Each structure stands twice: as structure tokens, then as C-alpha cells.
Structure 1
Amino acid sequence: MKTYLVGGSVRDEILGLPVTDHDHVVVGSSPDEMIRLGYRPVGKDFPVFLHPRSQEQYALARTERKVSRGYKGFEVYASPEVTLQEDLARRDLTINSLAKDQDGNIIDPFGGLSDLEAGLLRHISPAFTEDPVRVLRTARFAARFGFRIAPETLALMSEMVHNGEVDALVPERVWQEFARGLMEQRPSRMFYALRECSALARIMPEVDALFGVPQPAQHHPEIDTGVHVMMVIDHAASRNYSLPVRFASLTHDLGKGTTPPEEWPRHIGHEARSVKLVKDLCERIRVPNEARDLALLVARYHGDVHRAAELRPVTIANMLQGVDAYRKPERFEEFLQACACDFHGRPGYADKPYPQAERLHDAFEAARSVDAGTIAAELTKTISDPTRLPGAINTRVSEARIAEIKNRLA
């Protein structure tokens, strides 16, 4: 029985990156022996065990054989006879096929070290095409490391798209990979990689449709809506914003992809169209509620936020109510962050001031200073009809908030 560190922990250590999780492969053992040694079995689809002291994962060396479509369509074979090289050969990319033995020696049967040095994402074998998740993972690694994808690997990714293999991806796994890609330092690289192999049009056609759609040059020097959205998500990443902010940044302009070409470069009413597209996308790939709800608000209101200096106090008050700022002030902060990313995600705008956010912050603080409880208590004393009371309270609170906003912004 021999154990080896494998995969991402070895890769990241070589790259000088923080290593948080350690995965181990065990060669020459069996489930019975692992249990006798005190390891706790946790694997459902293949034999994986937790170390009795460190609680790190130890998996028996195994091979896999494709038996049906999709990322779960594999038959797993684990036995003491499976070698380390056979186990490493089933992995996706050469940079993920590195191992380290207990003496610290690096084992590199597929050229992963040279690909790390060259900044190259290259598949190990034609078996790469057997798992459609690898298309998303490879694009995500492009975003994480800034590596280029080897032409032959990109060709296999394109083949997987054209033969329909990516259509077998389950929604939860699609969201998981996109969420991880959005949290990288340059998430745009993931989307450009997916466009290059035509996968984006199949998996997230609403975003793919934005590329090639022009915007007014006086407001958008980049012109192309797809390029703009990529700049927006990269700006969100540069500010280390949350996943909901980054997802809202990605989806805020989806409606521009449905503007009739004869109306270009203007996009009147794209906000309402964006809301519907965001709803459909979130339902299709099972986006969590927190990210979905923020994306819907940003899609609906980002144009109003950009025009904050022109808005009347009553309009601002209605928007604050519409985004549920009083009950969810932290989300309101994320809402303004995403709108600011939309502003900054243009050539020459990254460091420009965005006073709209500060103006709406001030308006919110002014409106929030209204004591709704006191107003309700006073009206309860003067209105005897309980059916009229809720409406009267809402009206009086709204009037007070509008007055406070007007005074603060005067």
C-alpha cells in the first residue's frame, strides 16, 4: 500500500499558490484494508475514505469507463492492481495529473510540469471527451490561471459541443462551474474560452447573444455589448465583490441581445426584456435565490440608478421601496455595487467617480431616518376604522420619506 498527494494540491504548490485541500490516492489497497486501518468510508460512487486523524480524503486508485452520456455515465473499477499512472490517466488536464510521493518526489507521467511552465491547458487523452463538465472546467481554469488552451484540446471541446455532449450537463453542475468561474480574478476568460469552442451559445445563449450587438459609442467606447459585459464582470472581480454582484453584473444587459437590429445602437426598453431573460436563465440553471433576486433588481433598475441625479424624490423613494432597501440594506449595497460596475466596465471609466451611488446612499439614509413606528402609533390613536389604518400608515410613511429625501438632496 502506497499513498500519494495528487491533483490540485500538487499543482498549486508548484505554482506557489495557497493549498487548502489535500487529495490522496492509495495504490495497492482494498476497502477492507482501509477500514481495518481506521479509515472511514464516505464515497458513494467510488471508494473514498477519510483519514482517521487528519480527516483528509484518500481514494483508492481507480479507472473509469464511459457507459452512457453525461458526467455521471461512468463505470468505475477500483482494485489493488490499478497503478498510479492508470489513475492519473483518467484525469482531465496534464496540470491536474501530477502526484507527489511520501518522499516529496513529483511524479509527472503526462508532461504536466512543462505545461505549467508554458501556461498551457492540455488534455491527457481522447477520453477527455467522455465528461462534458470538462468543457466548463477547462474554461474555468483559463480564468483562474490565465493559461491558454492547447489547440488540440480546444478542438475536442468544440467536438463535444457539436456532438451534443454538453447538452447532457445537469443544471446544478452548470451553475456550480459558472459560479466558481465568476469568482476567479478574470472571469471574462472563462466566457471567452466557452465562446471559442461554441459552448456558450449552447449553455448560456442569452450571454452569447450579446456579442456583436452595438451600443452608442458616445456612452460605450467599447461599442460591443458582449465586450462591455466582460469588462463589467472583470471590474466586479477587481473589487472582490460577492458572487451575487458578479452574477448581476453578467446579466444586467441581457435584453440588449433581443433588440431588433434595425433599432441598433439604441436599446429602448431593454431593462424589462432583461428581467424576463434573467428569470428564464435562473430557472434553467437553478441559480440560488440570493443571486437571482439581486440580478433581477439590477436588470430592472440599473438605468434609473445611472440617472439618479435627474430623478425626483418620489421616484427615488419608489425605487428604494421596489428594491426592498429598508428590509434588506445589505442587498441594497450590493445592488449599488453592481450598478457601479456597469458604469466602470467601459474603456477609460474604471477610475472615474460614480456620484450616483453616493446620492442614492444619502437618499436611503434620509428615508431610513423616518420613524415608521411612531407614525403608526400616532395614526392608531386617530383612526378608528382598522381597515383604513394600514393604507393610512403606508401613505404617511411614504410622504415622510419623500420629504426627508427632498431635504437631504436639496
Structure 2
Amino acid sequence: MEVSFTPLIMCTNFIRACCRMSDRPGELVLGDGLHAGTGTTASSDRLERTSAGNWQRSPDSEMDPELTPSQQSALQALVTAARDHIAAQPQETAGLNIAIVGPPVRDAILDRPGRDLAFVVTETDAATLRERGFDPVPGSDDVVQDATGTSWRLPRRPSVHSADLPVGDTDDESGELRMDLRGRGLRVDALAVWLTSPDSSVAATESHQLDIDPAATLLDPFDGLNDIAAGRLRHTPGAFDTDPLCVVRTARRAAELGAPGSSIPESTPGPTPATPDTFAVAESTRARMAAVIADLNLVDRDRLGDEIQAAMAEAVDPRRFWEVLADVGGLAVLASTLDRGRIVPAGPEMFHAEGDVFTHAMEVLDQMHARCVDADITGQDRVRRYLMAIAHDLGKVPIANEGGGLHSEDPPTSFPNHSTRGKAPADRLATRLGLPDHVGEAMVDAADLHMTVPDVVTWEPDRLLEFIEAHTRPQDDALPDFATVEELLDLIRADHQGRWQARTSFDRSSAYYEDPTLPNDVVRPRFHETAYETRVETARTALEEIDGHTILRRGLCRDHAEGDLENDALAATARRCADCRSPGAWVGEELAAARQELLTDDSG
């Protein structure tokens, strides 16, 4: 799908992010004291970019460059925060050439919530930084960290395979930084702010820089500002040739920044407005991604797993990550079972009008995302839930394949035992994607249990208590090697409401709810979560409040019952006292009976 953006909006977004009018005619000031040049090469009807790469106001522009205070000070606030951070560190930083790089700069320009600072230091080496007091990072020769754990890295130096790749001069600090920015893959990420003033002779040759203050300069060697304004994701020259992981990173940025479609043209004329939350992959970048997709087989699995986890943790639209990869052939390389799910029906059309297994997984992912946002579930807890949604129905694919249904004119719509059959492909997917063991085990549980957990409200007490004990997160809050009760309940809720079901399949309106984004003849089944929450809460109460110590106290004599015995002393005291009931099989029997009584009363 092609999406166009008007130059007016392109310019307005950029201006609102970081500029105001100068008191000098025809000039703009970016941040505090950032003066743009006065060249004449036009790049839009609102702003002109000079041959030196600077921005100026077009003579016929009617744009009002006034800013909100937060927009006007975005870049300067970033610089101030970085300087304050550096000043608070015990490491010696005097004389270092320091730059803030990548997404923190981009997000400041977009006036988005900030993220952790990321520093690059040029014209030095890791040994020198360690001598200055920086701590080494295990397994990395070019990254150190300060007292807060913030990373400081040396510039990336990618190898060059593309004949048309402009390497540039890397014998100075500005050239080293350009090399690093090119290796970041996307032009919107290839932005940096120098926190120290480069040598004047270097600065004079740098064509895409803007002064923020006398000692801070915005560096934009690959036209990232234009791409931010246009809502466009374009690759930096040669990036995909040197690091195919940039394919996955592009999908990650599409999910993080949002996108209206899979690709947009290089130029964006027309009336459709862009917003800072609207980014799409440029056609040339999409083509480049597809051309190097097989090289993903060469990417280290740990790097791949880290990238995917970051994508899921940061995404404002996690579905976009998987759709972008599918669009360029990435799923066929990284997640072949999920990719084949695009031609396997999710089920009978009356109950799965959304279509195929892949589309159903995306719908479930949407529902899981809404749940995580509403409940403020973040970090690895969110990553686990998203990947559980991806893996839960993979078992339908091998069943369809065995029946010859993948390419059949009459493909199967019934998949008996697909939960059990889904465990192996879920495990293989987690391994292929380089995910940690705890995520992989949660994905396997998602496939295995998503069809049985919906019956939890009708389970007998023994089975329910066993399930709760087996899937309760450890008290030390460690990420467990299993799916937790809460994660599984969130999954079955998302799975239930991730279906497009025919309105005529319901006998009462309370069983479904309208979704205005769906066709008129389909609705979403309603998930009545209160019954599940009540049942689980009662089971937890039975486990936590009725334990072996509770039962032992019931067998104490009056004198000991009125005493203040610690739990650890109960068994020994009961054995010594002739009037107390000595521990034995009766404890387990009465414990089970007491818990069952509580759960039976609740279900009644």
C-alpha cells in the first residue's frame, strides 16, 4: 500500500520538534542557539535545505514556527540530561569526543518519551576508557559502562561490500561517527549529537550538521530528519550488506513507531498527512530487505534473540513486527511453521472468519497487547505473553500438512489434538529465534495448555490446586521456566476474543461484543473473566491460608494451642506432648479435605 504525506505536515512535524524563528531574516533557530543556514536549494514548499545540509525557511512559506515549550526544548533538554549524567560519573571524561547516538536523539526530535542514553566515544580505544575508570562489559571488546551501567561504545566499523557505498574519511572523530551511524541500519536512527565541539577543520567539512549550542552539534549525514518528517523508514547506504540483522531491526522500528502499510514511495507528495506516530517502510528498503533475507541464516542467534525481545518489549503495535517480516519473506527463514500458517485456515469460517492461523495469531497478539497496556505489564512479562500468543496455535500447521491440506482446494478446518502437536514446533521456534529458555518454555506451555485452561472453572479441586501450584511464579520473582497462571489466563482471554465469529452463531447477545473495526456480520466472543479470577483466587487462598501448619494446629492440646508456637516447632511439640495429636497421614488427609471444602463452597 502506498501512503503519501504532504510537505506541509512533513515540515511542521520537524519544526515543532526542534525549531523557532531567529531574529535574523530567513533563518531558523533549532533548540537554544541552533542557527540554520541560508542557502537556496529548496526541498519543500515549507522548508529549504541548503547544499550544506542545513534547514531554512522557504521565502513563500506561511508556516507558523511557534513551538510548545516541550517541543522547543527537546534537543537541548537531551543535551542537558546527557551532560548532567556525565558530570555525575566518577570516570574521567575530560578530553573525550562524546556523542549521543541513535534512538534517544530521534525520540527527542519526535517529542516522544525518552529512553536510556547511548554514548559513542571516538578517537580512543577500550583500554584507554578502562584506564579512565570505565568498567568492561563481558563478551564485548568495544563497549564499556559507567557507574550507572550506561553503555559507552567505540564506533562501529562495518566491512564494506557495496561498490556504491560512500565510505568517507574515518581518520577523524566526525568520520568515525558517520561510520557508526551508517551501521545503525535506518536513517531515522542514524542521528547523533556531539557533546564536545569537534575540531574546527573537521566541522567545516561536515555537510549535515546543526549547532544546538556552542559545544553541541546535531549530526545528520543520511537525511534522517527528512525521514522523520515524512514518517519513512529508509536504510542507510550499505547497511544490509554488512549486517543482515538490520532486516529484523527495520521490522522492530515499524512496530515501535507504528506504520500505516508495508511500504511507501521514496517521495511523498499528496494530501495524506503524516504524524510522528506514523512510520512505514520505504519501497527501496523493502526491496533491499527481501534481497538479503537469506543472510538472516548467518546471524548469531543470541543477537537475533535480543533483537526480537527488544522488538516485543518496545512495540506500540507488535503485530507490525511479524507482518513486516512476512511481507519481505523473513518468516520463511526465521519462523517457517508460522509462515506456513498463512495458508492454513484457523478453523471453520463461522468461528474463525478472521481467516488463517497466522492472521488469528496476529488477532490474539492484538488482544494480548491491549491487555498488557491496560494492566501496565511491561518488560519480559510482556515479551513472554506476546510470544505465547504467537506460538499457541502452531500445532494446526503440521496436522494440515500431514493431511495434504496446506495446498488443498478443501483444506482442513478441524485440528484435533493440536495443543499437544504444537509443543514441538513452539520449542523449535523459540530455539530458532534465539530466545531464552524461560521464554521458550512459556511458548511450549501456551501451545500445550491453551485448550484445557478454559475449563479451569469446572475442574475438580485436586486438579485445580495441582495446576495452581505448578504454575505459580516463584516468590523471588524470577522468570519461571513455565507459563504462569496469570499468563495462561491472559492467553485464553486473548485467544477467545481474537476470533471473528459469525453473529448468527450466538444464541444471546451477552455472549459477544461489537467491534467497529470488523465487518458487520461478525463479532468478538465475550470472555467472562470474573469467574476465572474468582476461582483462581479461591484456589490461591486454599493453598496459602490452609497449609500443613494450619492442620497441625488443629491437633494441638489446649495448652499448646493457646501458646505462641512458631510453625517450625509445631511438629516436634506435637510429638513430645501426650495430649497433642502426633503428625501423621491424617495431616495430608485433612489438608486436602479442608481445601476441597473451600473450593466446593466457592463453586456452589
Normalized against structure 1, the TM-score is what?
A: 0.80
- Asked if the contact 2:193–2:218 (Cα under 8 Å) also holds between the matched residues in 1, the reply is yes
- Asked if the contact 1:307–1:356 (Cα under 8 Å) also holds between the matched residues in 2, the reply is no
Measured after TM superposition, the shift of residue 375 of structure 1 is 5.1
Give the corresponding residue for 2:423.
Answer: 275
Give the corresponding residue for 1:258.
Answer: 398
Rounded to whole Å, the distance in 2 between the matches of 1:190 and 1:390 is 57
Give the corresponding residue for 2:181.
Answer: 88
Give the corresponding residue for 1:126.
Answer: 238
Measured after TM superposition, the shift of residue 101 of structure 1 is 3.3
Give the corresponding residue for 2:25.
Answer: none
> What residue identity is the alignment partner of 1:404?
L
1:371 maps to which of 534, 547, 550: 547
Rounded to whole Å, the distance in 2 between the matches of 1:264 and 1:273 is 16
**Which ranges of structure 2 fall in alignment gaps of 5 or more residues?**
1-95, 162-168, 196-210, 259-278, 478-483, 501-514, 516-523, 556-570, 576-582
Rounded to whole Å, the distance in 1 between the matches of 2:353 and 2:283 is 32
Distance 1:154 1:3, change over 3 A: same
Task: Using the TM superposition, name which of 120-129 and 2-11 deviates more.
Answer: 2-11
Q: What SS does structure 2 have at the residue aligned with 1:303?
A: coil
Q: What SS does structure 2 have at the residue aligned with 1:307?
A: helix
Measured after TM superposition, the shift of residue 166 of structure 1 is 0.7
Q: Does 1:111 align with 2:111?
A: no
Rounded to whole Å, the distance in 2 between the matches of 1:49 and 1:79 is 22
Report 1:11-410 matches (<5 A).
11-27=106-122, 29-31=123-125, 38=132, 40=134, 42=136, 47-48=142-143, 57-61=151-155, 63-65=157-159, 79-80=171-172, 83=175, 84-102=177-195, 103-104=211-212, 105-146=217-258, 147-161=279-293, 164-183=294-313, 184-214=315-345, 215-240=347-372, 241=377, 242=381, 243-260=383-400, 261=405, 264-313=412-461, 315-317=463-465, 319-320=467-468, 323-325=470-472, 331-347=484-500, 348=515, 349=524, 353-365=528-540, 367-368=542-543, 369-374=545-550, 397-398=591-592, 400-410=594-604
Measured after TM superposition, the shift of residue 186 of structure 1 is 1.2
Q: What SS does structure 2 have at the residue aligned with 1:4?
A: strand
Distance 1:165 1:390, change over 3 A: farther
Rounded to whole Å, the distance in 1 between the matches of 2:392 and 2:457 is 21
Distance 1:142 1:268, change over 3 A: same
Measured after TM superposition, the shift of residue 119 of structure 1 is 1.4
Give the corresponding residue for 1:4.
Answer: 99
> What residue identity is the alignment partner of 1:90?
G
Q: What SS does structure 1 have at the residue aligned with 2:360?
A: helix
Q: Alpha-carbon deviations, 1:148-200, whole Å to 9, x = none?
A: 11111111111112xx3111122222221221122222111000011011111
Rounded to whole Å, the distance in 1 between the matches of 2:331 and 2:131 is 47
Rounded to whole Å, the distance in 2 between the matches of 1:275 and 1:391 is 38
> What residue identity is the alignment partner of 2:291?
E
Rounded to whole Å, the distance in 2 between the matches of 1:280 and 1:90 is 31
Q: What SS does structure 2 have at the residue aligned with 1:9?
A: helix
**Which ranges of structure 1 fall in alignment gaps of 5 or more residues?**
68-76, 383-388
Distance 1:258 1:40, change over 3 A: same
Distance 1:397 1:125, change over 3 A: same
Measured after TM superposition, the shift of residue 140 of structure 1 is 0.5
CA RMSD of superposed structures (Å): 3.7
Distance 1:327 1:400, change over 3 A: farther
Distance 1:328 1:217, change over 3 A: farther
Normalized against structure 2, the TM-score is what?
A: 0.56
Q: What SS does structure 1 have at the residue aligned with 2:539?
A: helix
Identity over aligned residues, as a percent? Answer: 25
Rounded to whole Å, the distance in 1 between the matches of 2:290 and 2:392 is 28
Measured after TM superposition, the shift of residue 372 of structure 1 is 3.5
> What residue identity is the alignment partner of 1:188?
R
Distance 1:108 1:179, change over 3 A: same
- Asked if the contact 1:253–1:274 (Cα under 8 Å) also holds between the matched residues in 2, the reply is yes
Task: Using the TM superposition, name which of 112-121 and 99-108 deviates more.
Answer: 99-108
Distance 1:156 1:3, change over 3 A: same
Q: Alpha-carbon deviations, 1:99-146, whole Å to 9, x = none?
A: 223452432221111111111111111342221211111111110001
Distance 1:37 1:219, change over 3 A: same
Larger fraction in helix: 1
Rounded to whole Å, the distance in 1 between the matches of 2:140 and 2:297 is 22
Distance 1:119 1:286, change over 3 A: same
Q: Alpha-carbon deviations, 1:10-57, whole Å to 9, x = none?
A: 111111123333333445x34499659946474776655657x88755
- Asked if the contact 1:195–1:208 (Cα under 8 Å) also holds between the matched residues in 2, the reply is yes
Rounded to whole Å, the distance in 2 between the matches of 1:345 and 1:329 is 33
**Which structure has the bigger radius of gyration?**
2
Rounded to whole Å, the distance in 1 between the matches of 2:311 and 2:367 is 14
Aligned length: 389
- Asked if the contact 1:42–1:50 (Cα under 8 Å) also holds between the matched residues in 2, the reply is yes
Distance 1:5 1:358, change over 3 A: closer
